[in-house]
Amino acid sequence: MTEQNEPAGSQAHAAQQRQRASQLAQAIRTELHKALVGQAAVIDDVLTALIAGGHVLLEGVPGLGKTLLVRALARCFSGEFARIQFTPDLMPSDVTGHAVYDLQTEQFNLRKGPVFTNLLLADEINRAPAKTQAALLEAMQERQVTLEGRALPIAQPFMVLATQNPIEQEGTYPLPEAELDRFMLKVRMDYPDAEQEMNMVRQVSRSTRADMLDVQPLRTVLQAKDVQALQRIASDLPMDDQVLDYAVRLARTTRCWPGLSLGAGPRASIALVRCARARALLRGGEFVVPDDIKGCALAVLRHRVRLAPELDIEGLSVDQVLGQLLDQVPAPRL
């Protein structure tokens, strides 16, 4: 009798944990909406990456609130926060740290760089040359940095939120594909609609900070250990094999889709599954549905595929081609 009750008890406990985790995630979302007017989809994408344990590349023209969003997230989450302003003369050691010679002890001491934090804002990452951008690669993938032959772990959770200006702008360097692939999501921030812009102007013009919203009133909703708990609970969310197959089919279809000269690798399939679980938790679901995969597919795939030159000349965008692919790859009916 006891043996039969145990699984039911553990199921009830798991359901309770999921519900609590979902409430926590929604509480952060509510706080972020206080700082960033509109941009609901962007906020959801950033929270999806946080819960899925991935990194985010935020693209948009200056002045849309990319940096504000990251500062607001850091405020809601009591972990450590660091910011690196990428410039053409930034050196790799300015990111990772370096050895400093101490005259008194006659020894080299390691001075850790800003990458040793929980939440790293890499502002205008494509303003720096490839060598400096590459300094983040090991940290993003391995969650460690090698300094003077020593592998130093980075505290968990660790998330890089990099902002970049559109490639067409002056003084930008395109990110290498190896680095782009390390970002779980590439999120585009567009101009707000007229009503949202009016609300934003109303709020900002009342703020004591010249031309930006103040993040000080935001509540600290969770600790570093809570983020790790959210990540763990999300990774245990049930997913039917048909939904898993759908994620893999989407990624594989990009490799032979007319109009794409470069398809997404296996890391895209993994990212789709991890993001879908995070999205399911964020909406309070008990399991993953195909719409969770579809909802994050654009942000997962857009930076991992390359448009064929002939479509580029015709003026088609990667998002339009991926939209056609999502419409035509059949989703399972559960």
Within-domain flag for 236: no
The reply to whether omega before 62 is within 30° of 0 (cis) is no
244 falls within a domain? no
Tell whether 11 is covered by a domain: no
**Position 238 in a domain:** no
Ranges of residues in the chain with a pLDDT under 70 are 1-8, 63-64, 167-171, 196-197, 200, 203-216
Q: Is residue 304 one of the residues assigned to a domain?
A: no
Does the pTM exceed 0.85?
Answer: yes
| Residue 216, in any domain of the structure | yes
Give the pLDDT of residue 194. Answer: 79
CA distance readout (Å), 54 to 15, 272, 310: 24, 11, 33
Q: Is residue 272 part of a domain?
A: no
Distance CA 50, CA 95 (A): 21
**Of 262, 230, 237, 257, whose CA–CA distance to 326 is shortest?**
257
**What is the three-class DSSP state of 6?**
helix
The string of DSSP codes covering 192-232 is --HHHHHHHHHHHHHSSSTTS---TTS---B-HHHHHHHHH
For position 164, what pLDDT does the model report? 86
Instruction: Assess if residue 184 is contained within a domain.
Output: yes
How many domains is the chain built from?
1
Q: What is the pLDDT of residue 208?
A: 60
**The domain that contains 93 carries what CATH number?**
3.40.50.300
Predicted pLDDT at 67: 77
Q: Which helix (H) or strand (E) holds 233?
A: helix 224-235
Supply the range of the domain harboring residue 91.
38-224
Per-residue model confidence (pLDDT) at position 4:
44
